[in-house]
Amino acid sequence: MKKASKAANPSQRKCIFKKKQLPPVYEAMLIPKPYGYQPLNGCFVINKDTLLIVDPKRKTLAEAFQSMFFRALGHNLYIHYNKPGHNNILFEENSAIDAEGYTIECYPDRIKITFGGAPGFFYAMQSVRQILKLDKRLYEDSINFPCMIITDVPKYRYRGFMLDVSRHFYDKTEVKRYIDFLALLKFNVFHWHLSDDQGFRFEIKKYPFINMTASQRLSDCVARSEADSPYVDGVYKGYYTKEDIKEVVDYAKERFITVIPEIDMPGHVQALIAAYPWLSCTGERVDVRVEYGVSEEALCVGQETTYQFLKDILDELFELFDGPYFHLGGDEVVPNNWQNCPHCKKLMEDKGLADFSALQTYFINRIAEYCNQKGKTVIGWNDGIKAGADKKIISQFWVENPERNAELASQIADLDRKVIISSEKGFYCDYPYAKLPLKTTYFYGLPDELANPEFEKNILGVEAPLWTEYVLSRDKADLNCFPRLFAVAEQAWTRQNNPEEDGVRCKHKLKKLVDARYKRFLYRAEAVENILDCFRVNYAETKLADPENKKYKKIEVLKWHGIDQYSELKMNKNLKDQRKKVKENQKLLDRAQAEILLEHTLASIDTMPVKDVMIDVPYDRDLLD
Ligand code: ACM
Ligand code: ZN
């Protein structure tokens, strides 16, 4: 993850070399951009006689490929296991390729898709889907597949998106809709932030108040918004049953997406304490939190009953989530209650724990050890994963400042800790574009303390979180995520391969090339947005996603902090309406012009001198007499 070249300082001397025309750069209309692409002449015609030639072992995937074409074409491409011939799409598994990698070779007489393993087959399928726009129903009887060669392999093994369903609840249908988008963009992790101060959103048989009490709050706090913004009054609630969770996990699995549940602890648990007050140091009753911000409630980590309770919950969750990871949160813990708690104080004394940071580490290590016994690798947010935390715990890097960066760098050096990059400076989908423009996400680079090969080798991947305090509708979630997730997908998947930039020493020239690369990204983004239109995704207009006016950005950020979190949503609607109007006006203009043209043509016929009109009718001279 290298930092993008910075804008050249205008005061620097200009490039003295003569401008040389660079060869054009061709890119496939794909997001994320594949590693290699070579356009060829001609196209392969896919028609009703085209056969899919696949090993029976990959029957399920072949059927998925078949149904993708069925939706676009209205007829089936038949699957054969072995049939030599020309009008074929041949699938070939090759263990020499990465399991997630694939190549697509399209020639006028055949298509060959080579894949490393089942995920590679699936990703090749997503590329074909995007190139041919199979969701758009553009075709009648046949499809012209432009000839090309694509070779592709991901940069990172972990490509994630997180959805916070505590602050606002998204039912299983909404979650599955997002899983579909993730699959389209070759993400492979869905991190499900299932619990927080404002709501616990899953069912636990042993502790029914988790879903009966902890899943409801007295009202939905959107008080910082303007009066005319959407306001939901009354009790706000929602949770997933075990069946819902299973359905989502299975749905994701079919799309090669691992679901990682997060139960945030020992902080961010006010909703749980509302249901079971004995889990806190004070034992006092509290409500499920309505306001946002950081709650002072935390689990009492000095009592054995807390650990037993958590183990019971985890046991029930492990039955539903069979993936390799479990997220324990660990962020933003306020130790105020630990300070006066005899249990917590005694534990610190008994174990020789110097401070609350050490106490939190003791807690996280105990729970992580239990998860490890059950075959799970634990993830925690970087502010909660201190040097003393078990080195197997993966740190999710979100707080980015010199102190935290140095802390994480030393953990990498000393413990070889693995990291997931989710810096709020690059990947927070809840931020308005005025605060975190699309371009910043696309060009995000690690801070200097971490930008070294030692750190790089410990990066598992990239994840973009969507916190939903002010994201209470599908439209708002769509706006915040798209096209932002396109840039995240490229950060996570694309191994940058830009030969035209290699070796360019002149800063001006390099900047131009980098800007051109970004323009091409926007061009590809537009093509994929056309696909998203099929799913009615309310993506941000480019003007809004990459605002340029400094004053506008400042005002927007102020609004988001204080009075109106929905300003961009309204603005985007206006921009979309404007675009629609421009389109409609263009149509009207085209029609008016066509009418004028017709009038002119008719008029010119009317005024045409008669002598110019040739009447050449044979007649019988005798009849004239
Ligand atoms: C976080 O944003 N509190 C992880
Ligand atoms: Zn305590």
Neighbours of ion ligand 2 (CB under 5 A): 281, 300, 302, 341, 343-344
Which candidate, 446, 406, 402, 452, places its Cα nearest to that of 426? 446
Structure tokens, 404: 């935290």
**Average pLDDT in the 26-51 region?**
95
d(CA 164, CA 330): 15
Does ligand 1 lie within 6 Å of residue 383's CB atom? no
> How does pLDDT run across 312-366, given as a tens digit for each residue?
999 999 999 999 999 999 999 999 999 999 999 999 999 999 999 999 999 999 9
Among protein residues, the one with the nearest Cα to ligand 1's atom 3 is 331
Q: Does residue 565 have a pLDDT over 50?
A: yes
User: Is it the case that residue 235 has pLDDT exceeding 50?
Assistant: yes
Ligand 1 pocket mutation, candidates 264, 294, 398, criterion most atoms within 8 A of CB? 398
Q: Is the CB of 430 within 6 Å of ligand 1?
A: no
Task: State the closest ligand 1 atom to the C-alpha of 428, by its place in the atom list counted from 1.
Answer: 2
Assign 27 a pLDDT band (cuts: 50, 70, 90). very high
* Buried-exposed string 542-578: b where 16+ CB fall within 10 A, e elsewhere: eebbbbeeeeebeebeebbeeebbbbbbebbeebeee
The reply to whether ligand 1 has any atom less than 6 angstroms from the CB of 331 is yes
431 lines ligand 1 (CB under 6 A): no
Which of 79-93, 115-129, 480-494, 516-530 is least confident?
A: 79-93
Cα–ligand 1 centroid distance for 510 (angstroms): 36
pLDDT the model gives residue 16: 55
Confidence check: pLDDT of 515 > 50: yes
Query: Cis link prior to 56 (omega < 30° from 0)?
Result: no
Q: Which ligand 1 atom is at minimum distance from the Cα of 381?
A: 4
Q: Which atom of ligand 1 sits closest to the CA of residue 332?
A: 3
Whether 232 has a pLDDT exceeding 80, the answer reads no
**Does 226 score more than 50 pLDDT?**
no
Cβ contact 204:313 at 8 Å: yes
Considering only CA atoms, which residue is closest to atom 1 of ligand 1? 331
Cα(299) to ligand 2 centroid in Å equals 7
266 burial via Cβ count (<10 Å: 0-12, 13-18, 19+): buried
**Which ligand has the nearest atom to the CA of 298?**
2
Does the C-beta of 397 come closer than 6 Å to ligand 1? Answer: no
Which residue of 381, 425, 436 sits with most ligand 1 atoms within 8 Å of its CB, as the best mutation to test the pocket? 381
Q: What angle do CA 381, 382, 387 make, to 5 degrees?
A: 125
Ligand number nearest CA of 293 is 1
Strands (E), 20-142: 36-46, 51-53, 78-80, 88-93, 102-107, 110-115
Q: Which residue's alpha carbon is nearest to atom 2 within ligand 1?
A: 398
pTM of structure = 0.91
332 lines ligand 1 (CB under 6 A): yes
What tens digit of pLDDT does each residue of 109-136 get?
999 999 999 999 999 999 999 999 999 8
Residues 436-463 have pLDDT tens digits of: 999 999 999 999 999 999 999 999 999 9
Answer yes or no: is pLDDT of 231 > 70: no
Residue 118: count of CB within 10 angstroms of its CB: 16
Atom of ligand 1 nearest to the CA of 383: 4
**Any idea which ligand is nearest the CA of 303?**
2
Annotation: CATH topology of 36-152:
Chitobiase; domain 2 (3.30.379)
Nearest to 206 by CA among 325, 326, 308: 308
Q: How far is CA 368 from CA 41, 193, 265, 297, 364, in A?
A: 56, 18, 11, 21, 6
CATH class of 165-459: alpha beta
